[in-house]
Amino acid sequence: MASALVYLTKQNIVHHDIKPANIIYSEPRGAVLLDFGMSKEDFHGMVRSGGTPWYLPPEYLHVNKNGQHRLIRGFPGDIWALGVTMLYVLGKCRPEKTKDWLIRRAHKDGHDRVLMQSWIKSVAEYRKQLKEVDDGIGRLVSQMLYDNAELRVTAAELHAKVVAVKGVIK
- pLDDT at position 43 is 57
Return the bridge partners of 13, or none: 41
17 is catalytic: yes
More confident residue, 147 or 44: 147
Beta strands in the chain (DSSP E): 13-14, 23-26, 30-33, 40-41, 46-47, 72-73
> What are the structural domains, with CATH classification, of the chain?
2-169 (1.10.510.10)
User: pLDDT value at position 70?
Assistant: 58
Residues 6+ apart with CB under 8 A from 119: 53, 54, 95, 98
Quick: pLDDT tens for 62-75: 766 665 555 567 89
Q: The whole model's pTM is what?
A: 0.85
| Whole-number pLDDT of residue 170 | 41
Closest CA to 119 of 106, 108, 131, 130: 106
Candidates 17, 42, 78, 112; catalytic one: 17
Q: What is the pLDDT of residues 16-54, one digit of tens each?
A: 899 999 999 989 888 999 988 778 776 555 555 667 888
R_g (Cα) of the chain, nearest Å: 16
pLDDT, tens only, 86-115? 999 988 887 766 667 677 777 777 888 898
Statement: residue 169 has pLDDT above 70: no
Q: How many residues does the chain have?
A: 170
* Per-residue confidence band for 134, with pLDDT thresholds at 50, 70 and 90: low
In the chain, the amino acid numbered 139 is R
User: What is the C-alpha to C-alpha distance for residues 107 and 121, in angstroms, rounded to an integer?
Assistant: 16
| Contact yes or no for 106/61 (Cβ under 8 A) | yes
